[in-house]
Structures are given as C-alpha cells and as structure tokens.
C-alpha cells in the first residue's frame, strides 16, 4: 500500500480533511487566546496572575469537555458529538467579543473550553476507527497537522487584525466556524466499526470507567494519564505564554507575534516527519524521541537571549513538541476496545487538561514573583522527560495491530 494511500482514497481523504478543518478551527481558537491575552493585559491592566487565571479557566472547560464528550461519543456516536462541540466553542467565542469585564470573559472562556476539549479526542477517535490499519497512525498525525494551520491563522489574525482593530474582532472571527457544522452534518459519518458495535449503548459510564481501569488496561491507562498530563502541562505552560515570554526577553508586542508565527510554521515539518516515522518505526519511537528533543529545546529556549538563539530554540520547540502531539493522538485510541475507546481517550485527555489548568496559572505566579524564565523552562524540561519515560517503560507498541473490538 502506498504511503499516501490515505490521501488518494476519496472517501478517506474527505473524512481526513473534514475532521481536519474542525481541528484547525479548534487550534485557531486556542492560539488566539495566547495572542489576545497579551493585548488584553495592556488594555485591561491585568496582572500576570490574572492572565494565568484567564488561560487556565479555558483549560478547566477543556478538561470537562474531554470527559463528557468522550463518554457521550461512545453512547451517541462520534459524528453527533463532534458537531455539537464545534458549535459550543464557536458560539462562546463569538459571545466573548461582547465581554464587558474580566469575570464575564472568564465565564465565556470556560464554556468555550468545554467545546474545545470535547472536540479533539472525538475527532481523533473517529479518524482512527475509519482508516485501514497500515495507514491509521499516519492519518491521525496528518489530522493533528491541521493544528499548525490553526495556529498560523491565529498568528496572522494577531499580527494584522489585533493591532489595528483590537481583540474583540479576533473573538468575533472565532465564531465564524459555527457555519462549518452544517457542512459536517452531511460530509462525515460514524465509522462502520462503531455502527456495528450494537452493545455499546448498554454499557453505563461507570462500567466504561471500570473497564478502562480493569487488569488488562490498568498499566496502559496509568501510562496514558501520565503522558497526557505531562504533554499538556508543558505545552500550555510554554505556548500560551510564548508571546509574553518573547516580550519579557525585550521584544515589542508586534515583533513577538512575528517570532511566534515563524515558530508556528515550524510545526508543519514536525508533523510530517512524525507521520513518516510513526508507520516506519512505531508509536513509541516517535513519542520518546520527539519528547526528549522537546525537553532539550525547552531548556535552550529558556536560556536564549539573542534573536538568533530565541528563534532557533523556538523553531526546534515547535517542531518536536507538535510532532510528539501527533504521535500522542495516533497512539491513544489504539490502546482501548471499541466499546470504551472514546471514553478511555476522553478520560486521559481530561486528566491531561488538569495540567493545562495548572501550568498557565503557575507560570503567571512565577513571572509575577520575578522567577527567571530559564528556571521556569527547566520545570518543563523535567516534566516532559517524565512523560517520555512513562512511554518507554510502560507503553506497548501498537504499530500494525488491528483495533481491538
């Protein structure tokens, strides 16, 4: 089978791009928050602690969304929950443009986070279940590559829209993808693997959680929860603060947007190389190698002081971190049977989102107390290595294996 078979098959290509666009909109929303808070902090005179609260509240919603959507997708289908999560976060984004104060904006970001967090595990499960075994891992990594497209769009909005028209327009743009849900309604279908599993609806949520933690899956679940926590903790701690960190190193607001845009473009080759390696050398290889190199890049970024070293370290950070994300989404759905697959991935994602809540708030507190950026990024260095070690010692390879029923 050709390595690009997944792109040559019209049905599979349509599914990948349809789910991928919803992924892109999700990334655009998350990315815009990192840029908006930098502008909002000036306009509303927010302290670093308040910036940390605003970014963390989004992750609280994402944790709730991942937990709820995972279980609901196993009960009502992947397609229906994917559309509803898309609608929830886009409508909440549009309403955020009308926010009149910090508390109102935090409440709307909580609701938006529920939609954002619910969409990702459902989309990855849908694509994983719909692809042939030999192309499954590569297809999900390619799905993840749409995340870079969303961040690039958000960086362009931040570079050209926010400085001229303000942050409210950026939130309003985030509401436009709601119309895409109408297209998804006709463009995608639940995978046959899910449709044929008629006993799914008879399993309660409690039974699904018990299955995820039963003897056959216990070590896998523990490994996956550690992995998701460490990856999300480090990602949201580093990337949501990236424009602010670049400013702290002495660059202007607009200049920091330009730097982050360049770093974000570096995500694309990270995804594409991971997509190649994941079917050639396996999931564990991609995760361990890319996470280790992410950790090294984090240290380098924290220590960087010149334009050249900041840019080089930032490019490497984006390249390896997002390549690891691709491996994470490809790997997770392969570890559970169909009856609890979306629930298992949703639970792991939800636990990971706790890291997304803690990290931005932690960085805000540390910056407020004048802790050096280099020390903050050392924390991420250690955290990422813990995740890589969990996969190395407790993970099982799933390359070339059929999904369990």
DSSP-assigned states of every residue in 222-256: HHHHHHHHHHHHHHHHHHTTHHHHHHHTT--HHHH
Looking at residues 159-169, what average pLDDT do you find? 86
- DSSP secondary structure letter of residue 370: T
Looking at residues 117-126, what average pLDDT do you find? 84
| Mean pLDDT rounded to a whole number for the chain | 85
- 77 torsion bin: left (phi>0), alpha (psi -120 to 50), beta (else): left
Which segment, 73-77, 90-94, 144-148, 288-292, is predicted with the most confidence on average?
288-292
Q: What digits encode the pLDDT tens for the residues 176-185?
A: 887 877 777 7
Residue 199 has pLDDT above 60, yes or no: no
The predicted pLDDT at position 382 comes to 97
Looking at residues 288-308, what average pLDDT do you find? 92
Residue 200 has pLDDT above 70, yes or no: no
Is pTM beyond 0.85? Reply is: no
Contacts of 202 by beta carbon, 8 Å cutoff, 6+ apart = none
The predicted pLDDT at position 316 comes to 94
Q: Which long-range contacts (CB under 8 A, 24 or more apart) does 214-217 make?
A: 217/335, 217/336, 217/344
Give 276 or 34, the one with higher predicted confidence. 276
Give 155 or 110, the one with higher predicted confidence. 110
Q: Are 117 and 392 in contact (CB under 8 A)?
A: no
Looking at residues 372-385, what average pLDDT do you find? 93
Give 59 or 150, the one with higher predicted confidence. 150
The predicted pLDDT at position 2 comes to 43
- 250 torsion bin: left (phi>0), alpha (psi -120 to 50), beta (else): left
Residue 280 has pLDDT above 60, yes or no: yes
> Taking the alpha carbons of 154, 373, 364, 296 in that order, is the dihedral positive or negative?
positive
Residue 3 has pLDDT above 50, yes or no: no
Spatial distance between the Cα atoms of 403 and 405, rounded to a whole number of angstroms: 6
The predicted pLDDT at position 1 comes to 39
Looking at residues 104-127, what average pLDDT do you find? 89
Q: Are 271 and 145 in contact (CB under 8 A)?
A: yes
Pick from 106, 131, 121, 113: nearest CA to 53: 106
The predicted pLDDT at position 257 comes to 66
Looking at residues 218-223, what average pLDDT do you find? 96
Residue 37 has pLDDT above 90, yes or no: no
The H or E element spanning position 204 is: none
Confidence of residue 103 (pLDDT cuts 50, 70, 90): very high
- Helices 102-130 and 48-76: crossing angle in degrees, nearest 10, is 40
Pick from 302, 285, 319, 354: nearest CA to 148: 319
> Taking the alpha carbons of 46, 50, 55, 60 in that order, is the dihedral positive or negative?
negative
Residue 56 has pLDDT above 60, yes or no: yes
Spatial distance between the Cα atoms of 354 and 343, rounded to a whole number of angstroms: 17
Q: Which long-range contacts (CB under 8 A, 24 or more apart) does 204-208 make?
A: 205/71, 205/343, 208/71, 208/74, 208/339, 208/340, 208/343, 208/344
For residue 376, CA distances in Å to 13, 237, 363 come to: 41, 9, 7
Give 112 or 307, the one with higher predicted confidence. 112
The predicted pLDDT at position 300 comes to 94
């Amino acid at each position: 089978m050709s390595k690009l078979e997944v792109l040559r098959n019209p049905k599979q290509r349509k599914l990948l791009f349809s789910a991928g666009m919803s992924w892109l909109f999700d990334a655009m929303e998350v990315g815009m928050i990192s840029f908006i808070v930098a502008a909002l902090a000036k306009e509303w005179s927010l302290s670093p602690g308040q910036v940390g609260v605003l970014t963390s509240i989004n992750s609280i919603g994402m944790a709730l969304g991942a937990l709820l959507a995972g279980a609901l997708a196993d009960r009502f289908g992947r397609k229906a929950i994917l559309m509803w999560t898309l609608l929830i976060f886009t409508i909440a984004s549009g309403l955020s443009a009308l926010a009149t104060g910090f508390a109102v904006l935090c409440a709307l970001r909580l609701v938006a986070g529920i939609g954002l967090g619910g969409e990702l595990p459902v989309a990855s499960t849908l694509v994983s279940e719909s692809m042939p075994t030999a192309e499954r891992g590569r297809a999900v990594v390619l799905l993840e590559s749409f995340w870079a497209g969303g961040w690039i769009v958000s960086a362009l909005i931040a570079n050209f829209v926010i400085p001229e028209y303000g942050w409210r327009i950026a939130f309003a743009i985030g509401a436009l993808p709601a119309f895409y849900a109408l297209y998804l309604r006709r463009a995608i279908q639940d995978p046959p693997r899910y449709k044929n599993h008629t006993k799914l609806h008879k399993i309660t949520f409690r039974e699904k959680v018990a299955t995820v933690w039963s003897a056959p899956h216990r070590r896998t679940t523990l490994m996956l929860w550690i992995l998701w926590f460490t990856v999300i903790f480090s990602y949201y701690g580093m990337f949501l603060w990236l424009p602010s960190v670049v400013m702290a190193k002495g660059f202007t607001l607009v200049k920091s947007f330009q730097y982050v845009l360049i770093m974000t473009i570096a995500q694309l080759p990270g995804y594409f190389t991971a997509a190649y390696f994941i079917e050639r050398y396996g999931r564990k290889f991609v995760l361990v190698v890319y996470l280790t190199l992410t950790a090294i890049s984090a240290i380098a970024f924290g220590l960087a002081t010149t334009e050249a070293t900041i840019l080089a370290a930032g490019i490497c950070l984006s390249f390896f971190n997002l390549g690891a994300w691709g491996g994470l989404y490809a790997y997770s759905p392969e570890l559970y049977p169909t009856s609890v697959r979306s629930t298992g991935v949703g639970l792991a994602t939800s636990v990971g989102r706790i890291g997304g809540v803690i990290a931005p708030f932690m960085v805000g507190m540390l910056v407020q107390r004048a802790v050096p950026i280099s020390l903050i990024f050392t924390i991420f260095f250690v955290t990422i290595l813990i995740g890589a070690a969990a996969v190395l010692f407790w993970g099982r390879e799933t390359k070339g294996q059929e999904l369990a029923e």
